[in-house]
Amino acid sequence: MHIYDFIQGLIIGSTLIIAIGPQNLYVINQGLKKTFVFTVVLFCSLSDSILIIIGINISSVIVVINPNTIIILKILGGIWLIFYGLNKIRYVNKIRNLQNINVIESDFKKTLITLFLITYANPHVYLDTIILIGSISTNFNSQLFFGIGAVMASFIFFFALGYLSKYLSEYIYSNKTWFWIDLIVGFLMILYGIKFIFF
């Protein structure tokens, strides 16, 4: 039944996307700072959806993808994440009050560029959506309904993550808390960058 394929797509899509990675960290960070939350979660949801659709449509040729392509993506993505993390840590010392937090990352164009890079320079985005979901979809009678379920999982997850973070931001008042949030996000981005390059 198609409903079974839809539910499996929803479950598998959810389990793949729920792991905390650079993209999810960025969504949380923007949600906490209440900066372009709708744009960020919509961009992530649509990007995931497009990649899932591509993966399902080229599922028959995924097995012949050159492994060197993934390696190059991992290195480039890792280098970029390290620089982003270092830049994030550098900005930590420039935060003096809560008003400045919204000024630092309030530029819409900068947010879109960062979001684009943090999404499409992340090799795991391609591994989880195009390659993994694409190959898994071949096991179901209706790849269409499986894909709809996986796409629905992305929308539910990113909107919940972004707006839950925005809600929690109402309870964060101290400069010290914001200092540690930015510091932790910066270090995590660096660690992900190192992981992409060497592991």
Total-model pTM: 0.74
Q: What is the pLDDT of residues 61-119, one digit of tens each?
A: 765 666 676 677 678 777 877 887 887 787 665 544 444 444 444 588 888 888 898 88
Please name the amino acid found at residue 90: R
3-state secondary structure the chain: CHHHHHHHHHHHHHHHHCCCCHHHHHHHHHHHCCCCHHHHHHHHHHHHHHHHHHHHHCCCCHHHCCHHHHHHHHHHHHHHHHHHHHHHHHHHCCCCCHHHHHHHCCCHHHHHHHHHHHHHCCHHHHHHHHHHHHHHHHHCCCHHHHHHHHHHHHHHHHHHHHHHHHHHHHHCCCHHHHHHHHHHHHHHHHHHHHHHHHC
* Per-residue pLDDT at 110: 86
* pLDDT at residue 98, as a whole number: 44
| Residue 50: per-residue pLDDT | 93
Q: What SS3 class is residue 194? A: helix
Q: 121 is written with which tokens?
A: 């320079």
Tens of pLDDT along 134-166?
878 877 888 889 899 999 999 999 999 999 999
Task: Write out pLDDT tens, residues 30-60.
Answer: 898 888 999 999 999 999 999 999 988 887 6
